[in-house]
Amino acid sequence: MEQGNLTGAIFLDFAKAFDTVDHGILLQKLKNSGIGDSTLTWFQSYVSDRSQSVSISDSTSLPLPVTCGVPQGSILGPLLFTIFINDLPNVCKASTVHMYADDTVIYTSKPNLPQLEAVLQEQFTGVEKWIANNKLFLNTDKTVAMLFGTAPKLHKLQTPHLCVGTKSNGMLTTVTSLKYLGMWLDPNLSFGPHIEKLSSKLYPKLGALYRNKSCLSPAVRKQIVQQMLMPAIEYGDVVYAAAPQTHLQKLTTLYNSFCRFVLQCNYMTHHCDMLKELNWPSLDSRRTLHLSNLVFKSFSGKLPPYLNMLLP
């Protein structure tokens, strides 16, 4: 975007991702990853000969064998699925792939829309073939595309959406807002929708707390704000730290409302006085601290390479 390019992204949605992992393919990929024979035998024992049944009251159904999938709710389940799809980027040579468990996105940037659509179509076709070869299933109704760019760049487009076809002769839906890893994305990356949705979620919770304030001591009110409300604001704040000040101010107003709830102050009390009494930093200072921690981790070599590349 900073170079004036358009960026197109496809957010993949695997249908019943953990339940459809083929055991034979998984074991072969574990072997290709360098897993030794004895450890491979252990993994084979772990995923094989499993069964499942349903219990209602005093009745239990007959057990049925589980012929595919990795155990959900286990520690190894997400790890094994990650190993299973770890070679997906090999078919996306002309794009970048980010994977977090079953949340996968492929994206690339081009100077104009036709070039961008051509590359994304080629990449998505390869992804569909990889999915079929690995006996997974893609939920094409929930797999969506999104177009990113500066407001002037997108405004010049007659049709600001991506045309990417599927093997079933359908077209991926292009969305203008999407929640990915807890963050609401928008085409300009202004994070306005994210902040709006965050505010609309937290204000009702704050209202419910106000209605029960007589049951809560000052210490409990402070603990509730610190442990239940603030984590929602601070999640990903280094990502949206560069959002327009008009958006960030909405969070500052919300933060001040938290302070008023803890101290039970009226609206005439200045926010600086509340922060001083609580010994809390301002919301801007909190974000600056988190950004500083991120830079420190970069200099210490504790960040993934793709994040290090973004820092000078």
Per-residue pLDDT of the chain (312 residues), as tens digits, is 778 899 999 999 999 989 999 999 999 999 999 999 999 999 999 988 888 899 998 899 999 988 899 988 888 999 999 999 999 999 999 999 999 888 999 999 999 999 999 999 999 999 999 999 999 999 988 999 999 999 999 998 888 889 999 998 899 999 999 999 999 999 999 999 999 999 999 999 999 999 999 899 999 999 999 999 999 999 999 999 999 999 999 999 999 999 999 999 988 999 999 999 999 999 999 999 999 999 999 888 888 887 888 776
Angstrom distance (rounded) from CA 93 to CA 293:
33
Q: At what angle do helices 76-84 and 37-47 cross, to 10 degrees?
A: 110
Per-residue pLDDT at 191: 96
Angstrom distance (rounded) from CA 182 to CA 232:
10
Residue 13 pairs in a beta bridge with 103
Residue 18 phi, psi dihedral angles, 5° rounding? -70, -25
Domain range list for the chain: 6-184, 192-308
Angstrom distance (rounded) from CA 165 to CA 171:
4
Q: How far is CA 194 from CA 118, 127, 145, 211, 239, in A?
A: 30, 29, 18, 27, 11
H or E element that contains 172: none
The closest alpha carbon to 114, from 48, 166, 180, 158, belongs to: 158
| Cβ atoms 137, 14 nearer than 8 A | yes
The closest alpha carbon to 103, from 82, 121, 124, belongs to: 82
Angstrom distance (rounded) from CA 92 to CA 90:
6
| Cβ atoms 179, 186 nearer than 8 A | no
The closest alpha carbon to 171, from 182, 180, 159, belongs to: 159
Residue 206 phi, psi dihedral angles, 5° rounding? -65, -40
Its pTM surpasses 0.85: yes
Q: Token pair 């070869």 is at which residue?
A: 133
Residue 309 has which token pair?
Answer: 């590349």
Q: Token pair 């770890």 is at which residue?
A: 86
Q: Which of the four CATH numbers 3.30.70, 1.10.3470, 3.80.10, 3.40.50 does domain 6-184 have?
A: 3.30.70
Angstrom distance (rounded) from CA 52 to CA 61:
9
Q: How far is CA 189 from CA 29, 41, 83, 288, in A?
A: 37, 47, 31, 20
The closest alpha carbon to 122, from 88, 90, 165, 82, belongs to: 165
Spell out the residues 6+ positions from residue 51 whose beta carbon is closer than 8 angstroms to its own.
63, 64, 65, 66
